């Protein structure tokens, strides 16, 4: 489930199966650049007196892949944090609106009671 409202709806209609909230990958479908830290590769094959093409390629690519993996994980964490913040903000706004409506109803009832008491005197 992608959002708390959907989760609540399923719970309200009686779904008893365990439901988990998950980040929506649709937010990350647009390609974007990931800043990579500096990648330093050195001493390829120096301990063995040389390296094959595949050993050299692996030695050069593995640090780049590790840096990309780290950058992607950081971006995903940020996106998840942003999504959770937005969902929490939305949920709090909805709850605040509900409380405002209840307060308005209570004010109206009190006003009606006060008018009724004043009319009795």
> What is the domain partition of the chain in residue ranges?
4-30+55-120
| Distance in angstroms (rounded) separating the CA atoms of residues 104 and 121 | 26
- Taking 3-state DSSP, the helix, strand and coil percentages for the chain, each rounded to the nearest 5, stand at 65, 0, 35
Q: Which two tokens stand for residue 96?
A: 């605040």
Task: Yes or no: say if 38 and 63 are a contact pair by the CB < 8 Å rule.
Answer: no
Q: Which pLDDT belongs to residue 2?
A: 67
Residue 76: which region, alpha, beta or left (left: phi > 0; alpha: psi -120 to 50)? alpha
| Distance in angstroms (rounded) separating the CA atoms of residues 19 and 61 | 40
| Distance in angstroms (rounded) separating the CA atoms of residues 61 and 20 | 36
pLDDT in tens, 63-110: 888 888 888 888 888 888 888 888 888 888 899 999 999 999 999 999
Predicted TM-score (pTM) of this structure? 0.46
């Amino acid at each position: 489930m992608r959002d708390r409202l959907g989760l609540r709806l399923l719970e309200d209609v009686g779904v008893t199966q365990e439901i988990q909230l998950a980040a929506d990958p649709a937010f990350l479908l647009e390609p974007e650049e990931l800043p990579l830290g500096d990648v330093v590769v050195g001493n390829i094959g120096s301990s063995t007196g040389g390296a094959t093409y595949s050993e050299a390629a692996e030695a050069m690519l593995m640090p780049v892949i590790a840096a990309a993996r780290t950058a992607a994980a950081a971006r995903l964490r940020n996106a998840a944090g942003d999504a959770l913040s937005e969902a929490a903000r939305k949920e709090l706004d909805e709850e605040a609106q509900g409380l405002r409506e209840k307060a308005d109803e209570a004010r109206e009832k009190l006003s009606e009671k006060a008018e009724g008491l004043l009319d009795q005197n």
